[in-house]
Amino acid sequence: MNFKLLYIITSIEYGGAELQTIAQVNYLHQQGYTTHLLVLHKIKAKALRKELELPQSKIIELNFPHTYVSTFAVLKSTRLIYPILNIIQQEQISHVVAHLPFSHFIMRMVYLAQRLTFRPHFALFPYHHSMQYQANPLNTLGKRLFNGLNATLARFTDTKNICVSDAVKENLQAHTFVHNPQIIFNSIPYQQIDNQLAQQYLAEHKLPFNAFTLLFPGRLHPSKGHLFFINAFGKMVQKMNWKVGEIQVIIAGGGTIEQDLKNAITEAKLQDFFHITGFIPNPLLLSFYKIAKLTIVPSINEGFGIVAIEALMQGCPVLCSDAGGLKEVIQDGKNGWQFPKLDEQALIEKMEFIYQNRHHELLPSSTLIANYQKRFTLNTQIQKLLQVLLD
């Protein structure tokens, strides 16, 4: 079979969909599959550009100014159809994997245009990463009209839809047409790292080495539950009578709400307990898992939760909410702990239990790493992906 693959994504920034795209195209390229990457906007993150292993000739950036579904983006989207169609025909693309909602819409339009040319058509696989209807509900007439149009297009164009979790699939099916949905969990390339980078960071920033360290990783976004956790942690400090240096929270990441978090921490008089790193390279983040006693993921809306499997890979236990796909990653009491999202009392009770048992190995690191290796390796993911694409 002449299998030529095109990945399409709106832009390359720091996010779960982008990181999965890079990992997959690199792996497929390494395995000898003809793989191209088409970015509707551009590769904005320089560090991520360096991680791409594809030859430059197989990376295309169209510099389209819009990356999200909007009235202007939809109206101007027709200008993308024929440039993309020409690329598909020139490269004889047989399979297209489209990441993120705007890419789904564009490729459905391209698919219809190619069918009108009476040339061999490609197989289209929209890839879904988020609880998109929870994060962006259909609360306006314009959104409902567009959703209806997109659902109609999907009936004629989609080969199979790939979802990163059952939660994502159920969210989609409740609001739109989903043809032949397939579940493929997210993954990350296996990498073990020591605590040296984290220890250096602690020393440089004069942070305590012996504190009970909670790691809160990922981008700073309202859906991740930072403000909820800060409020709950403040109550825990009072209840447990923690002193500065006994416990610390490292928020490892950057994003749009960084200043809001700093303000909330200051207002709660918790600045001696919290440290926000801003954007950091992934090796440093992985090293932080090695010094952390617990990884915190109190998301309000989560399609899957890459940081949870990063923690497992490094042998760090996870305390997370049951939002979206997180409950499919973390099994309470087996590879971490869970609480109902936004349930402050449940979070406090779990944290108190974990802290009071801090001198006991409640969940051995070897068990957590084995759980990752069984369920979330890149090799496992790619084998499932190829089966979905080629069956």
pLDDT bracket for residue 148 (50, 70, 90): very high
Same domain, yes or no: 243 and 349: yes
Same domain, 247 and 146: no
Comparing C-alpha atoms, which of 46, 68, 53 is closest to residue 21?
53
129 with 220, same domain? no
Average pLDDT over residues 145-152: 95
Whether pLDDT at 132 is above 70: yes
Residue range 198-230, pLDDT digits in tens? 999 999 999 999 999 999 999 899 999 999 999
How many distinct structural domains can be found in the chain? 2
- Tell me the CA distances in angstroms from 348 to 236, 239, 320, 362, 363, one per residue in order: 7, 10, 12, 18, 19
pLDDT of residue 107: 96
List the CATH number of the domain containing 80: 3.40.50.2000
CB 62 within 8 A of CB 91: no
Q: C-alpha angle 353/356/362, rounded to 5°?
A: 70
Round to whole Å and give the CA distance between 125 and 5: 11
Shared-domain flag, residues 204 and 267: yes
Among candidate residues 58, 65, 150, 74, the one with its CA nearest the CA of residue 111: 150
- Across the range 351-377, mean pLDDT stands at 95
> Which pair of tokens denotes residue 185?
């969990």
> 15 and 148, same structural domain?
yes
| DSSP H stretches of helix in the chain | 16-30, 46-51, 71-76, 78-91, 101-116, 132-135, 141-157, 166-173, 196-204, 226-240, 258-267, 282-291, 306-313, 326-329, 344-356, 365-375, 378-390
What pLDDT band is residue 390 in, cutting at 50, 70 and 90? Answer: very high
Q: Assess whether 215 and 159 both reside in one domain.
A: no
Would you say the pTM of this structure is higher than 0.85?
Answer: yes
Residues 77 and 219 grouped into a single domain: no
Residues 360 and 243 in one domain: yes
Task: Based on the fold, state whether residues 141 and 283 are members of the same structural domain.
Answer: no
Instruction: Determine which of 74-78, 257-261, 292-296 has the lowest per-residue pLDDT on average.
Output: 74-78
- Pair (136, 284) in one structural domain: no
pLDDT score of 235: 96
Same domain, 266 and 331: yes
pLDDT of residue 14: 78
pLDDT of residue 74: 85
- Full domain range(s) for residue 242: 196-375
pLDDT of 1 strictly over 70: no
Q: b/e per residue, 330-353, with b = 16+ CB within 10 A?
A: beeeebbbbbebebbebbbebbee
Mean pLDDT of the residues in the chain: 94
Say if residue 178 is in the same domain as residue 234. no
